[in-house]
Structure 1
Amino acid sequence: MKKIAALLLTFLVLSPATIQAAEIKVAAVEFNPVEQNVQANIDGIVTKVTTASQNGAKLIVLPEVAVTGWIIASKKDSDTIPGKATAAMEKITKKYNNYVVIGLYENDPVTGLTHNAAALIGPQGYIGKYRKNQLPPGDFETATPGNLGFPVFDTEIGRIGMLICFDDSRLQSLLLPSLRGMDILAMPIGSDAMPKFEKASIGNHSTIGNIATLSPWIGVNTIAANQAGLVRIPQIQFVDQFVGGSSIMGSSGKQLASSKASTWTKPRDPQIIYATIDTAKKSDQKEFWLKHRRPELYGIYNLYKAPDDPATNNSQNQIAALLVQYDPVNGDVNANAKKVDGLIKANPNGFNLVVLPFNSFVGKVVLNKENIAQYAESLDGKSVSLAADIAKKYKTYLLFSMPELKDGKYYETAILLDFNGKQVGVYRKSHLNADEQKWATAGNDLPVFSTNDLGRVAIMLNDEVRIPELTEVYALNRANLILIPAMYDGKAYGGEVNIPKGLVPAASNRGMYMWFDIAKYSQAYTLVANYLPKESGEFAASALYSLVPEEGFYPPNIAPNKEMAHQVLFETNLKNNLWINQQKLVVARRWDQATPLTLDPQGACFKEWQKDSTNPEMCPKAAGKR
């Protein structure tokens, strides 16, 4: 854990499983280790795991480094895997026919290296381990980054994957085990919060807050266990405050159980929480993602983009954007363009960007093979002319979208215009849903458009937000803004942000979780323009989503539920000293492990990697190595 490691320096120099899963009771066990006393920690863990086992838990997850604590002054302060801790757990798992995941600093006796690791133990004994891949800066002084990839283990209760705390900072950490068919994510966490007067408070982030919104986007059952309360570390004369909030979430994102948050003023003791998950229940979102993802477009994942990237735009651009939210006259291009103009005109303030909803002047017409010829236009047609007139009239950049006819083919297309009404860029929707595939042609490019006034601009069209790889691709292409013309009813997919209370400011615990995640995991301001949400509630409204909402500086700015041009104000590249920014995201990403995200899912290499789900080596059989 990065803050304690930093203080130490100061003070101490898809292949589906054949197993038929069922509903299972699981437990997240909060536990605060004693520093430099491995045996005392094992004894305490045995007591808690026995309690959870007696209460019927079939999978029990403990926090990060629960066995060892954070201070590793010598090898005796760590453990091996298998080792003393796994042996102690085996006695319990064999007796109660269950599974346990424990976190510890692992001493590798072969290499002599130390890894921040998690071990999985089951009814037959030790099963396997995971080594933390994404280390925060302070951890570099203690541990070596993981070298086992992202293994997924077949068990009688489902396919179990493991991540550890700061692994949450990179989206690919969740995508890779999910592509291997992970049913359950076991996540040991050591998430603390420094008081704001401490310099290290810029490193505060909420792993459990992140996982609460990521779980439904990836579509995975999650058990996340954290430390809780005030933890005294006499070796460095320090008291740390762990935030608790341990959570169990279903694959739909429903919060099944959560412990209360612990704070400096209201610290609380560690707890054990229980819930029942159903690994046989399919996630509609995960099925959509796996069906519609296009790995042939994600090649940038495999490129080393750090430390110097010529595409980076670090200019601080002041953005005054209008998100136009209205109730359209379906199918009436002229009426809708007139309404958009009127809503923009009613805004009394200056602005330099306007974003319109999906199929901006067509409205909520359901397009199909029978009617597409009626609504599709060329890029020199009426709709583009109307949009260009608005951009010129108000001297603003403007993004709108429409069904396009080009060379006898139909597309869903977005056009970015500058303040002279000239086309800055055209994006044709690359990830078509099942209905669109019946009449539309997919675009084959993921462009990011460079502008002098806005920075670098990327576009997602409507339900493309369901494809998480797009977010990281745009980050790697150094987008400063992601603009999303939407036609979102709040029912077809997605849902409200639902982070356990007290882990992030209440003002930041709002909005639609996919849009919320896109901003955080691209580190690009995300602007959504949606039609007027009449029934679904606040989370479906047009909004600005910012980069690090848990810090409280920039919570989502959500439009009221009425027709309007909702104004949002911000400056790009303004707050780059917090725990994450786009540069940090790109520099520390494990690009060397991303290859499976870009493989053909029908190809021999991908299928071998997916089936051989604990092997970090890529496709030795396909490469003729076996």
Structure 2
Amino acid sequence: MKKIFLLLFLLITISFSAIHAAEIKVAAVEFNPVEQNLQGNIDAIVAKVTAASQNGAQLIVLPEVAATGWIIASKNDSDTIPGKATAAMEKITKKYNNYVVVGLYENDPITGLTHNAAALIGPKGYIGKYRKNQIPEGDFNTAAPGNLGFPVFDTDIGRIGILICFDDSRLQSLLIPSLRGADILAMPIGSDTTPKFEKMSNGNHSTIANIATLSPWIGINTVATNQAGLVKIPKLNFVDQFTGGSSIWSATGKQLASSKAGTWTKPEEPTIIYAKIDTSKKSEQKEFWLKHRRPELYGIYNLYKAPVDPVANNTQNQIAALLLQYESINGDVDANAKKVDSLIKANPNGFNLAVLPFNSFLGKVTLDKNNIAKYAETLDGKSASLASTLAKNYSTYLLFSMPEVNNGKYYETAVLFDFNGKQAGIYRKSHLNDSERQWAIAGNDLPVFNTNDLGRLAVMLNDEVRIPELTEIYALNRADLILIPAMYDGKSYGGEVNIPKGLVPEASNRGMYMWYDIAKYSQAYTLVANYLPKETNGFNASALYSLVPEGGYYPPNIAPNKEAAYQVSFTTHLQNNLWIDQQKLVVGRRYELAVPLTLDSQGACLKEWRKDSTNREACPKVASGK
């Protein structure tokens, strides 16, 4: 009897574990719809989704507008949600006990508006929908912007958030579902390659490429599905080439699967890719971000900054910057300052900015509450005096950082000196890591320094790059340059850019993904000065990251693996004909949806918003006193 009881107990335990298993099989189903053929598309989708279901997929994601196609000549070309497409999916999801996300143009019968939307269907039928919030220029005449916020749906396989293609063009669209607790991000995508000067040229924007660097930064499992191959659009007398390259990413940034990327001369046929994701495996990056973010500093998120922003600077400034990269002599201020001087002196070219690594003259000393009094200095102390002298002697702006003591309090501080060696700006690190919290006080300001010679400058100190909101805050405060004094070993966080091959030029498929994304999502040139890398392939070297690397125009400019005052040169506000710039980024942002990013992390409002995860309002029950 005892053996029977034990056997029953084990069976029940195994069954319970299976029901709540964290590892699930997902599928990205590539599909090219036929224009103005709703029922035909639905029938073809049914066949693909059935095949993926029979192969064990518990979550299946289809591309953008998969059911309807791109041309909506009348309401007959669109669908409702719930509607024909969701009804067809329900038959499959009920049979196979799984989930499907399908993209389509939705006709709202109440308002008469058309939305670019995606529906989630599960074992019990239709669950909910998402409406695309960031509408690209080409869709202005077709779809109205979304009005449902960023819902996250609770399911048996985890919490599922949905975004659609161009939503990725604004970082807040990625941050909000992750902040809301999404375990999985489903992304229906329609990334094409528009011909420019030749076949096989890359379009300026590629959502399917962006996901490769965004998934690890926001720390979320992602299933991104694209159309693939040559697609005829007779209504427009046009043939478009969709790149494919669908991909599945873990919350830790590991590429689990990807389809081949096609070109004009070598288009790829639509396919299905599979992978297993583990929703119980947490992202250290996301945990760091959520723990150390400071929403009280992000209030500008909620302000309307368009179409005219008096703070914006449109002056074209020529920048010739030195990124100081060297092996530090730890704890020896004089020796490190002398090394910096010799590296600058060895550079034969003219320059107007020098950026030094984190704790520039102190080196890679581990600071703690026992030794900080020994190493911290005042802003008129020895290190600051040495930095001021360098700026004055070489007639350049210079940014360096140091541990600072001020009235018995300690800070991690960056100081910007001008051509005359005068202090032009002070930034005290606002987002301290756990070690720094033991001895340092956080700064409470996110300044952008206005200079006549270089434009507007902002600073991130070392691992503050792990806080993605800083990137958008500096964009909204109209920074032209973001300067990052770093002490990054290539292992403690971040990682190498790893975009599926063929989606962007190889010259752009390199560097450190956080630095890479900071430049793109701030639309500010990002200059990183790091100590000499060791035992890496160089992705964590000092570098210049520019505004549109995916188009191949300005790939990352990475220093060689040697001590140097590495020079990078560029002109700000030179190009105004690319797919994005800072003005377009700010004007097109859905500022009214950003409220959750500015709520108190421990407050009742944010907790209510997370719990009531499909409600657009931030905290309706708290507001009503319920």
Q: TM-score range by the shorter chain?
A: over 0.9
Distance 1:41 1:579 in 2: 31
| Cα displacement (A) at 1:21 | 5.0
What is the rounded CA distance, in whole Å, between the counterparts of 1:601 and 1:255 in structure 2? 30
Match of 2:67 in 1: 67
Distance 1:303 1:198 in 2: 42
**Mapping 1:445-456, distance limit 5 Å:** 445-456=445-456
1:618 Cα deviation from its structure 2 partner: 2.6
Alignment of 1:576-595 (within 5 A): 576-595=576-595
Could you tell which deviates more after superposition, 316-325 or 202-211? 202-211
1:531-550 equivalences under 5 Å are: 531-550=531-550
Say if 1:23 and 1:280, in contact at 8 Å, map to a contact too. yes
Q: Residue 411 of structure 2 aligns with which residue?
A: 411
Secondary structure of the 1:540 match is coil
Distance (whole Å) between structure 1 residues aligned to residue 621 and residue 22 of structure 2 = 33
Aligned-pair CA distance for 1:30: 0.4
Does residue 88 of structure 2 align to residue 100 of structure 1?
Answer: no
Q: Which ranges of structure 1 fall in alignment gaps of 5 or more residues?
A: 1-18
Q: Aligned residue for 1:287?
A: 287
Q: State the match for 2:350 in structure 1.
A: 350
Shift of residue 209 of structure 1? 1.1
Mapped partners of 2:62, 2:268: distance in 1: 17
**Distance in 2 (alpha carbons) for counterparts of 1:263 and 1:176:** 33
Shift of 1:71: 0.3
Name the counterpart of 1:302: 302
Residue 462 of structure 2 corresponds to residue 462 of structure 1:
yes
Query: In the alignment, residue 156 of structure 2 is paired with which amino acid?
Result: E
Q: Tell me the residue number matched to 1:187.
A: 187
The Cα shift of 1:434 comes to: 0.2
Contact 1:298 1:598 in 2 (8 A): yes
Deviation readout 1:553-574 (Å, 9 max, x if unpaired): 1000000111111110111011
2:511 corresponds in structure 1 to: 511
Quick one: distance in 1 between partners of 2:513 and 2:203? 23
Distance of 1:104 and 1:227 partners within structure 2:
13
Secondary structure in 2 matching 1:365: coil
Contact 1:491 1:536 in 2 (8 A): no
**1:624 counterpart letter in structure 2:** S
- Map Cα deviations across residues 315-365 of structure 1 (whole Å, 9 max, x no partner): 110100000000010000000000000001111111100000000000000
Please say if residues 98 and 123 of structure 1, whose CA atoms lie closer than 8 Å, have aligned partners that are also in contact: yes
Q: Distance in 1 between matches of 2:581 and 2:560?
A: 29
CA–CA distance in structure 1, aligned partners of residues 473 and 333 of structure 2: 33
SS at match of 1:526: strand
Distance in structure 1 (CA, Å) of the matches to 2:618 and 2:286: 24
What is the CA–CA distance in structure 1 between the aligned matches of 2:100 and 2:52, rounded to whole Å?
10
What does residue 167 of structure 1 align with? 167
Mapped partners of 1:584, 1:20: distance in 2: 44
Equivalence for 1:12: none
Matched with 1:485 is: 485
3-state SS of the aligned residue for 2:140?
A: helix
- Paired letter, 1:293: R
Counterpart CA distance in 1 for 2:88 and 2:337 is 69
2:11 corresponds to which residue? none
Q: Which residue of 1 aligns with 2:340?
A: 340
Report the count of equivalent residues: 607
Q: d(CA) in 1 for partners of 2:196 and 2:608?
A: 48
2:203 and 2:551 in contact (8 A); partners too: no
- In structure 2, what is the Cα distance between the partners aligned to 1:618 and 1:511? 37
Aligned partners of 1:297, 1:479: CA distance in 2, in Å?
16
Identity %: 81
2:324 is aligned to 324
CA drift at 1:210: 0.8
Per-residue CA deviation, residues 37-67 of structure 1 (Å, 9 max, x unaligned), is 0000001100000110111110000000000
Distance 2:214 2:520 in 1: 11
Q: For 2:190, give the aligned amino acid.
A: G
Quick check: 1:527–1:543 contact (8 Å CA) kept in 2? yes
Whether the aligned pair in 1 keeps the contact of 2:26 and 2:276 (CA below 8 Å) is: yes
In structure 2, the residue matched to 1:5 is: none
Structure 1: distance between partners of 2:204 and 2:136:
11
**CA distance in structure 2 between the aligned counterparts of 1:63 and 1:397, rounded to whole angstroms:** 48
CA offsets per residue over residues 548-600 of structure 1, 9 Å max, x none?
00111100000011111111011101122111110000001000010110010
Superposition deviation, residue 203 in structure 1: 6.2
- CA shift, 1:204, in A, is 3.1
Alpha-carbon distance, 1:202 to partner: 9.5
Question: TM-score scaled by structure 2?
Answer: 0.96
Aligned to 1:157: 157
Opposite residue 391 of structure 2, the aligned amino acid is A
- Say if 2:519 and 2:545, in contact at 8 Å, map to a contact too: yes
Aligned to 1:215: 215
Cα pair 2:249 2:255 within 8 Å, conserved:
yes
Give the aligned partner of residue 376 of structure 2: 376
> 2:12 is matched with which residue?
none
Code of the residue aligned with 1:570 in structure 2: it is F
Tell me the TM-score normalized by structure 1.
0.96
Distance 1:269 1:442 in 2: 53
| Uncovered stretches (5+) of structure 2, i.e. residues with no partner | 1-18
Report the equivalent of 1:4. Answer: none
Question: Superposed, which structure 2 residues align to 1:390-401 within 5 Å?
Answer: 390-401=390-401
Deviation at 1:603, TM superposition (A): 1.1
Conserved? CA contact 2:193–2:202, under 8 Å: no
SS in 1 for 2:607: helix
Q: Which digits, 9 at most, give the CA deviation of each residue in 1:73-110, with x for residues without a partner?
A: 00000000000000000010111111000000000011
Q: Which amino acid aligns with 1:207?
A: T
**What amino acid is aligned across from residue 82 of structure 2 in structure 1?**
P
Paired AA for residue 494 in structure 2: G
Counterpart of 1:13 in structure 2 is: none
Match of 1:8 in 2: none
In the alignment, the residues of structure 1 paired with residue 155 and residue 618 of structure 2 have an alpha-carbon distance, to the nearest angstrom, of 23
CA distance in 1, matches of 2:462, 2:544: 15
Contact preservation (8 Å) 1:36, 1:72: yes
Are 2:196 and 1:196 equivalent residues in the alignment?
yes
Residue of structure 2 equivalent to 1:37:
37
